[in-house]
């Protein structure tokens, strides 16, 4: 099948579906300049997630973890939603019961205009108290990027090994209410994913899942597409290369999401 006939089949499924889920990963933001995690240049190619994205890492070396997230926040200041984010936001107009489930913490879908969004892994631009996880404190606030990042910190993520220039001093700020440390409002490895039950419910009722720019290796997020597939939904996978979810896809559209999605969704007339 040519890409155009593959695209036409996918367009007709999208036109006909009533309860679609769009599920996105880091690839949808790649063309906005946000680093992915596992492909070439991805964050986890050069950094160990267990040293930067776990509660244990934050206990062991809070300055390093805070510096890493400060660096990521600082990069985001220069990033804008791309044509893929906008095409997904536009899809809500023709599909009022659609839900967007994103693993991304960059907020670019909301900035593009998506309103029915589940941010499965949280929001990097929120600070919340580390004591929130056991229910002891509910304090959170918008991140104050300018307070914690110098321009020097924008060169790259801070590292302890191998020895390099020390990252800017970035001790986590303290909670206004209980004095605990503030941490980024994201889900770390090993932590519960609060929104997952809602996503499984949506998946069980979905009739189509449009998977975009995810490797599909992180659970429980990847299971959202599998649950929907198991319940009979069509699955369309958009990626620059096959992913772990391509094998369950009815259609694999190979290419950059900022290029594929406007073609796929823009030419899909309203029902
Ligand atoms: P990954 O880095 O694992 O995968 C990114 C995917 O995007 C890969 O399959 C790429 O081939 C694809 N890709 C890259 N550029 C693309 C483009 N322009 N258009 C389309 N696809 C493109 O990122 P995620 O799957 O999002 O979790 O990773 C899942 C989770 O692992 C993240 O949410 C994060 C990470 O650790 C937490 O932080 C909890």
Q: Quick one: pLDDT at residue 107?
A: 97
What atom of ligand 1 comes closest to residue 38's alpha carbon? Answer: 2
Which residue is closest in CA terms to ligand 1's atom 22? 27
Distance 35 CA to ligand 1 centre (A): 9
Contact yes or no for 248/235 (Cβ under 8 A): yes
> Which residue positions in the chain have pLDDT lower than 70?
145-169, 267-271
Contact yes or no for 81/32 (Cβ under 8 A): yes
Provide residues with CB under 6 Å of ligand 1.
25-27, 30-31, 36-39, 42, 49, 53, 103, 121, 187, 213-215, 217-218, 238-241, 243, 256-257
Burial degree of 91 (CB within 10 A; 0-12, 13-18, 19+)? buried
Q: Quick one: pLDDT at residue 160?
A: 52
Report CA Rg, the chain: 19
Per-residue tokens: 227 = 């649950």
Q: Quick one: pLDDT at residue 165?
A: 42
- φ/ψ of 25, rounded to 5, equals -130, -170
Distance (Å, whole) CA 141 – CA 125: 9
pLDDT digits (tens, 9 = 90+) for 48-107: 888 899 999 999 999 999 999 999 999 998 899 999 999 999 999 999 999 999 999 999
Ligand 1 pocket test target in 31, 32, 39, 254 with most atoms within 8 Å of CB: 39
Give pTM, 2 decimals. 0.91
Distance 102 CA to ligand 1 centre (A): 11
Q: Quick one: pLDDT at residue 40?
A: 85
Distance 29 CA to ligand 1 centre (A): 9
Contact yes or no for 140/128 (Cβ under 8 A): yes
- φ/ψ of 252, rounded to 5, equals -115, 115
Which residue is closest in CA terms to ligand 1's atom 16? 27
Is 121 considered catalytic here? Answer: yes
Contact yes or no for 212/257 (Cβ under 8 A): yes
Distance 245 CA to ligand 1 centre (A): 12
What atom of ligand 1 comes closest to residue 31's alpha carbon? Answer: 18
Per-residue tokens: 66 = 């805070």
For the chain, the three-class secondary structure string (H helix, E strand, C coil) is CCHHHHHHHHHHHHHHCCCEEEEECHHHHHHHCCCCCCCCCCHHHHCCHHHHCCHHHHHHCHHHHHHHHHHHHHHHCCCCCCHHHHHHHHHHHHCCCCEEEECCCCCHHHHHCCCCEEECCEEEEEEEEHHHCCCCCCCEEECCHHHHCCHHHHCCCCCCCCCCCCCCCCCCCECCCCCCEEEEEECCCCCCCCCHHHHHHHHHHCCEEEEECCCCCCCCHHHHHHHHHHCCCEEEEEECCCCCCHHHCCEEEECCHHHHHHHHHHCCCCC
């Amino acid at each position: 099948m040519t890409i155009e006939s593959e695209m036409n089949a996918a367009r007709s499924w999208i036109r006909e579906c009533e309860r679609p889920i769009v599920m996105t990963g880091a690839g949808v933001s790649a063309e906005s300049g946000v680093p992915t995690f596992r492909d070439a240049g991805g964050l986890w190619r050069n950094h160990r997630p267990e040293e930067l994205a776990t509660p244990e890492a934050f206990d062991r070396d809070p300055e390093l973890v805070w510096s890493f997230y400060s660096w990521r926040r600082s990069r985001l200041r220069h990033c804008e939603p791309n044509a893929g984010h906008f095409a997904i936001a536009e899809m809500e107009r023709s599909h009022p019961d659609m839900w967007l489930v994103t693993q991304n913490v960059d907020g670019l879908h909301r900035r593009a205009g998506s309103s029915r969004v589940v941010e499965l892994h949280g929001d990097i631009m929120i600070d919340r108290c580390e004591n929130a996880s056991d229910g002891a404190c509910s304090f959170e606030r918008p991140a104050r990027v300018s307070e914690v990042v110098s321009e020097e910190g924008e060169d790259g993520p801070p590292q302890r090994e191998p020895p390099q220039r020390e990252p800017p001093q970035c001790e986590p700020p303290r909670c206004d209410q209980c004095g605990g440390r503030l941490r980024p409002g994201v889900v770390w490895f090993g932590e519960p994913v609060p929104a997952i039950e809602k996503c499984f419910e949506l998946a069980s009722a979905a009739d189509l899942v449009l998977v975009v720019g995810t490797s599909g290796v992180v659970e429980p997020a990847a299971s959202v597409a599998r649950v929907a597939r198991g319940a009979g939904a069509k699955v369309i996978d958009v990626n620059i290369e096959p992913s772990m979810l391509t094998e369950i896809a009815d259609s694999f559209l190979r290419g950059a999401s900022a290029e594929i999605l406007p073609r796929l969704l823009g030419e899909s007339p309203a029902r």
